[in-house]
Amino acid sequence: MPSWAIASRPWEDGVLHSVGFLTRRTISPSSNDWNEYSLPDRLFPLYYALRPVRLGRKYVRKGASILGRFLGPTLKSVRSAIGGQ
């Protein structure tokens, strides 16, 4: 068997590395998590569960704000066209 056939496929290593990196970044608590939630020392593992919740809230709000900026003028024109406020 040729040596190139035995070597690992770089794209698999890259994908697995990326998935692992994103998973760690998503669940590993940061200083923002510790500042936002004040938990007793014995409840420290809960920071790992709270991080995805905090990130979800952050990005849902940001997405809603961006969406509102784009749809705001459109919604106002639709309301005025149908006689709303």
Over the stretch 59-76, which tens digit does the pLDDT of each residue have? Answer: 887 777 776 676 666 656
The DSSP symbol for 50 reads H
Give which of 52, 62, 61 is closest to 23, Cα–Cα: 52
Determine the Cα–Cα distance for residues 45 and 39; give it in Å rounded to an integer. Answer: 10
Q: How many CB atoms lie within 10 A of CB 41?
A: 5
Residue-wise pLDDT for 16-60, tens only, equals 778 888 888 888 888 888 888 888 989 989 988 888 888 888 888
Rounded CA separation 32/54 (Å): 9
